[in-house]
Structure formats: structure tokens, C-alpha cells
Structure 1
Amino acid sequence: MDVIPIVSKLNLFFQKEFTDIAMVKVQIDHTLKDLGQLREYEGTFQQQLKKDIQGHTLHYKELTITRCPEKDIISVKQKFISNLIANKEKRFPDTELISAFGILSMRPIGLISGEELESWGNEQLDVILDHF
């Protein structure tokens, strides 16, 4: 449950009618950072789970849930999050290229001086041209 809000935020970003290409790298980086932190620390739901299953068993309706060792829970969580991170990195291997497409929005053009405008976007264009 602690993972869902992190991943959902990235999913919702990509579901917008007009995705801001310049923000793709930022969103991916934030997602990876947040997942990395969650892998190392307990999230809100994990903390609540620890409180809920203080004893060796938990009874819910007609079900009896036997508590497994905490180290096993932590291990499974870390493996799950590590796989999520690996999948995100595999899906977006070249965030520099994705970020370079941000120059096409031309958003900052009105905020830079004439001198800066002469070379504005050259680095990003080089990345795109090298790729294609």
C-alpha cells in the first residue's frame, strides 16, 4: 500500500491529455528517489501492519493469519521495490534523451537574454540529433 501513491503519481502524470515532455525526467527521478527511500524505511502502512499483528496470529472474520518473521516481510518488500525500480529504469533507460525533448516546448524562451538565446537548446539538440 505504501508503494501505490508513489507509482500512481507517475502513472497520472502520463495520463494527462498534454504531457509536459520537459517534466518527464523530473517525474521519473522523483519516483525512483521515493521508491528508494521506501525500500530502506518503513512506510505508513508497514508501520500500521506491525502494530496490527503484534502477536503471532491475527484473526480476521473466519481467517487466522499466522505472523511470519519481520525479517521476511522486510526482505519481500525490498525485493518488490527493487524490482519496481529496475523495471522503471529499464523502461526509461535514457532519461537524458527524454529530457532533451523538453526544448521543443520552448517555455523558457521569453525569460532568457538575446545572448543566451543564440546558444539556447544546442546541447539538447545535439543529444536528439545523436540519437536519430
Structure 2
Amino acid sequence: MLADVIPVIDRLNLTFQKDNVNPSTIKPMVESTTHMLTQLLDTPGDNEREFSNSLQGATFNTTTLTHLHNRGQYERVRREFIQGLIDALRRRFPQTEVTILSALATVFDVERYPGADRLAGYGQAEMDVLRRHYTAVINPERAQRNFLPFKTAVTNYGATSFDTVCRCVIRQLYDQFPDFGELAKIALVIPVSSVYAERGFSVQNLIKTKGRNRLNEDRVNRLMMLRWHSKSLRDFDIGSARENFLTTKTRRK
């Protein structure tokens, strides 16, 4: 069973193990994963069927399976396990949040924009979702009026990644389209990728080793911040740092 389930979950995990995850990929991947798990809930996968067909009585590859007679219990546990995965996915990716992510992707993923002849109506349903959800952040009426001019303006960015478009909107178009600037800020801070969390654990493991296992949480956090954000030694200006240290009036004794 696990041989059938794990590849399905792995495909979803790989979606998030990228620096720049496009939110437009999340909804179809979650729906696809849920659908495949639902199929496994009712119908055994290829590996499980192969295992069942290879059984000779209660023996598999010369190994006697002592609990094989309790097939009903196995089926119950199997269904509970897969249903638990499906429920966990639905809790982790609520429909409302996934819909908002998809709407943001539609607005800011310029690569998906249609031609000029169909641009006017493109993304209107998704824009309505964002206008309703972020009424405390944007002016819904102004955002609607500016939607087509905004789309026309960002088409100049051409084949540009989702993150890059959001940053360009904030830096270059915020004064013209403040509502979309705010939406771009929201889109950039939604924690979609798991890359930074995984890198954080890697940095932590480099700092808090077996030989330094008495480091407290605050010290580890500070060292991680230095490791993550500081310049490399090749770029570090020691002379400037020394002068800054000597001219600092308040020092801890």
C-alpha cells in the first residue's frame, strides 16, 4: 500500500521544493493528489495488486505472513490511513485559501495572459474573488476600474516569473495601481515554497552540532540570522567594521 501512496505524496511535495513556486500550480496539484488518493481508497494500486497476486497461501517470497488471515482488519486500517491523508490535505489546503492563491496567480502570472483581443475579460472571476476577500486592504471599486489598464501595463513584462512581476508592480507601478501593489505584497509573503524552511533546518544543523549541543534557543537564532544574512568573508570589509565598532558609544561590558 505504501509503495502506491508514497509516490503520490512525493509528487505533491516536489511542487513546493522550488525557490519560486507558481501559485497557479497548487490547486491542480492538490486536486490531482486528492483524486489519486481517493482512487486508492476504493481500488488497490499496482504495487498492492502485484503483492496480492504474488502470495501463495500465506507465504510471500518464502516469508510466512502470520496475520494474513485477518484481511478485514487490514482493509479497515488501509482505508483509515488513506482517508486520514485525504483529510489532512483538505485541512492543509482549504478550498478558500487555494482559490485565493489561484486568483493571485491569474492576476500576476503574465505568462498566462491571453492575446490583446481577449485580455479585457481575462481573470474577471478571479479579480472578483480578490476584491471580496481583501476589502480591508484594497479599494474594490477602484481595483475593478483599474484592472484592464493594469493588465495592459504588465503585459510589457513579457515572459517574466510570478515573483518578478509582483516585485516590479510594487517598485514601478505602485503609484499608478496601489490596489494591485498591495495584492502583490500579499502574494509575495504567502509562504508557498518549503525551500527556505528546509534551508533553515540545514543552517541550524551546521550550527548546533553534537559538540555545541548546549547552545540555547536565543543564541542559535542569532547565529542562524548571522549565517543566513551576513556577507561572505570575501565581501566583508573588516576595516569598516573595526571603525564602526570603535566609534560606537554604547558597548556591553
TM-score (norm 1): 0.83
Number of residue equivalences: 127
Matches of 1:10 and 1:20, distance apart in 2: 13
Match of 1:98 in 2: 101
The answer for unaligned runs of 5 or more in structure 2 is 135-253
User: Which residue identity lines up with residue 97 of structure 1 in the other structure?
Assistant: I
Match of 2:46 in 1: 44
Aligned CA RMSD, in angstroms, stands at 1.9
Bigger CA drift: 47-56 or 27-36? 47-56
Match of 1:70 in 2: 71
Shift of residue 51 of structure 1?
3.4
Matches of 1:68 and 1:45, distance apart in 2: 20
Matches of 2:58 and 2:45, distance apart in 1: 22
Shift of residue 52 of structure 1?
4.3
- State the Cα deviation string for residues 18-66 of structure 1 (Å, max 9, x = none): 1121111111110011001111111122123323443235664xxx641
Matches of 2:12 and 2:120, distance apart in 1: 34
Matches of 2:128 and 2:54, distance apart in 1: 55
Matches of 1:45 and 1:72, distance apart in 2: 20
- State the Cα deviation string for residues 87-106 of structure 1 (Å, max 9, x = none): 10111112222211212112
Matches of 1:51 and 1:16, distance apart in 2: 39
The answer for unaligned runs of 5 or more in structure 1 is none
> Which structure would you say has the larger RCO, counting Cα contacts within 8 Å and 6 or more residues apart?
1
Percent identical among aligned pairs is: 28
Matches of 2:70 and 2:83, distance apart in 1: 20
Q: Give runs of aligned pairs for residues 89-128 of structure 1, distance below 5 A.
A: 89-94=90-95, 95-103=98-106, 104-109=108-113, 111-114=114-117, 116-128=118-130
Match of 1:87 in 2: 88
Q: Which of structures 1 and 2 has the bigger CA Rg?
A: 2
Match of 2:4 in 1: 2
TM-score (norm 2): 0.46
User: Which residue identity lines up with residue 116 of structure 2 in the other structure?
Assistant: S
Matches of 1:54 and 1:128, distance apart in 2: 58
Change (3 A) 1:99 1:68: farther
